[in-house]
Amino acid sequence: MEYVIIAIVVVVVAAAGFLGAGVARTRRAKMARLPPSSTTGETATLPNPTETVAPSIDSPTQALPIPAPDVEAPDLEAPALEMPEPTANRLIRLRARLARSQSTLGKGLLAVLGRDRLDERAWEDIEDTLLQADVGVASAGEIVQRLRERTRVLGTRTPGDLRALLSEELVAAIGADTDRTLHTFPHADAPAVVLVVGVNGTGKTTTCGKLARVLIADGHSVVLGAADTFRAAAADQLQTWGAKVGARTVRGAAGADPASVAFEAVRMGTEDHVDVVLVDTAGRLHTKTGLMDELGKIKRVVQRQGPVDETLLVLDATTGQNGLTQARVFAEVVDCTGIVLTKLDGTAKGGIVFAVQRELGVPVKLVGLGEGADDLAPFEPKAFVDALLG
């Protein structure tokens, strides 16, 4: 077996060399070829919605025959449809929740800032606080550096001022004036389409369900598309959410082509003249090329009927530095327009969004604050930073 291994290594290396040399040139060629606006280039080559992707090891189920998604209308006469509370007063609870997650971290920071002299050690402690919130080495270093400069310039000494300054820096780092509105207003003849993507177990389906409640509470009509045909019972989970608020769920058989389910959901939404179509996708690790291709296809296929208004990447607040890689890859494939930061009700701080904002400029739009049906709130930089600093 050993020589087989060596052989494989040889081939891998050879292939790398083979490609590596050609890359520089093909890159340039590619750039020259691409028209200035790359979006138009993409729409020109839209695939047929029923195209089949060659089965890859990542997703063996793709090879299954693709039945037409069957639509299950929820029982609209269900005894009690819940009427979720409107979003307006959610922020108050958000603060309470965030406060709950305060730990010794913030207190430690306060102690540091309260010292008489800000020596090297104190700055290190501030940096450590940020690091422990998963802000990341590069972002934390940058924030502390800027803070140092500003304290020197302004001659800030009192802990209160310093804390305010730090919070200001953090708010600036996360983008104080970024547009965080969710574009869910229907077009003239088509519903707004929201695509929810992310890695496994971040809470996509739950977010979809909660978002449907929010939208319905705000007076929109919603169709849910259960394009997670892979995970066992994911469609059931979404349907349960939908049934509670009387939203229709479009689903396909297990292992069906998710793109066709998504397409069908948007088609249903257009036919029924609903305002918003929410498409839940299967969790996928960003390293699985086959699955990422599948996601790209879902979006392309949905776009045949009109633009996708929001592509929300769901990030788990407990995620560490890998969150940045995730965001980068997902942004590349489906061009995320916003981030939903979930599970913020725990001890995790979700500092990774600083790095994401810094590098990709994708704003956090929503935060998930618990398992309750209405624990989804709009993101507020100030409140978030306050929670971070404790």
Partner 1 sequence: MFDTLSERLEKAFTSLRGKGRLSDADIDATCREIRIALLEADVALPAVRQFIGAVRERAGGAEVSKALNPAQQVIKIVNEELVEILGGETRRLRLAKSPPTVIMLAGLQGSGKTTLAGKLGQWLKAQGHTPLLIAADLQRPNAVTQLQVVGQQAGVTVFAPHPGTAEGGISGPPGDPVAVARDGVAEAQRRMHDIVIVDTAGRLGVDTQMMAQAAAIRDAVDPDETLYVVDAMIGQDAVTTAEAFRDGVGFTGVVLSKLDGDARGGAALSVRFVTGTPILFASTGEQLSDFDIFHPERMASRILGMGDMLTLIEQAEASFDADEAQRMAGKLATGTAFTLEDFLEQMMALKKMGPLSNVLGMLPGMGQMKDQLAQVDDSDLDRTAAIIRSMTPGEREDPKLINGSRRARVARGSGVSVFEVNQLVDRFFEARKMMAQMAGSMGLPGARRSNRKNARKSTRGAKKGKKGKAVRGPTAARVPAGLPPGMGGMAGGGMPGQPMPDLSKLKFPKQ
Residue list 193-222, contact with partner 1 (CB under 8 A): 199-203, 206, 209
Residue from 94, 207, 216, 230 touching partner 1 (CB under 8 A): that is 230
276-281: strand order across its sheet:
71-72, 248-251, 222-227, 276-281, 192-197, 310-316, 338-342, 364-368, 376-378
Interface characters, 129-158, with partner 1 (x: CB under 8 A): --xxxx-xx---------------------
In angstroms, what is the C-alpha Rg of the chain?
A: 24
In the DSSP assignment, the letter for residue 221 is: -
- Please, what is the minimum distance in Å from the beta carbon of residue 309 to partner 1? 26
- Please, what is the minimum distance in Å from the beta carbon of residue 305 to partner 1? 27
> Three-state secondary structure along 222-291?
EEEEEECCCCCCHHHHHHHHHHHHCCEEEECCCCCCHHHHHHHHHHHHHHCCCCEEEEEECCCCCCCHHH
Q: By CB under 8 A, tell whether 29 contacts partner 1.
A: yes
Distance CA 260, CA 88 (A): 36
* 299-358: contacts with partner 1 (CB under 8 A): 316-323, 325-326, 343, 345-349, 351-352
Q: Which of 10-18, 147-155, 160-168, 171-179 is the region at the interface with partner 1 (rule: CB under 8 A)?
A: 10-18
Size of the site for partner 1 (CB under 8 A): 88
The greatest distance separating any two alpha carbons of the chain, rounded to the nearest whole angstrom, comes to 71
Q: Output the CA torsion sign for 118, 124, 128, 134.
A: positive
* 85-104: contacts with partner 1 (CB under 8 A): 100-101, 103
- Please, what is the minimum distance in Å from the beta carbon of residue 336 to partner 1? 17
Q: Which of 359, 351, 347, 360 is nearest to 384 (CA)?
A: 351
Between 72 and 218, CB nearer to partner 1:
72
Between 351 and 381, CB nearer to partner 1:
351
Between 3 and 219, CB nearer to partner 1:
3
Between 122 and 190, CB nearer to partner 1:
122
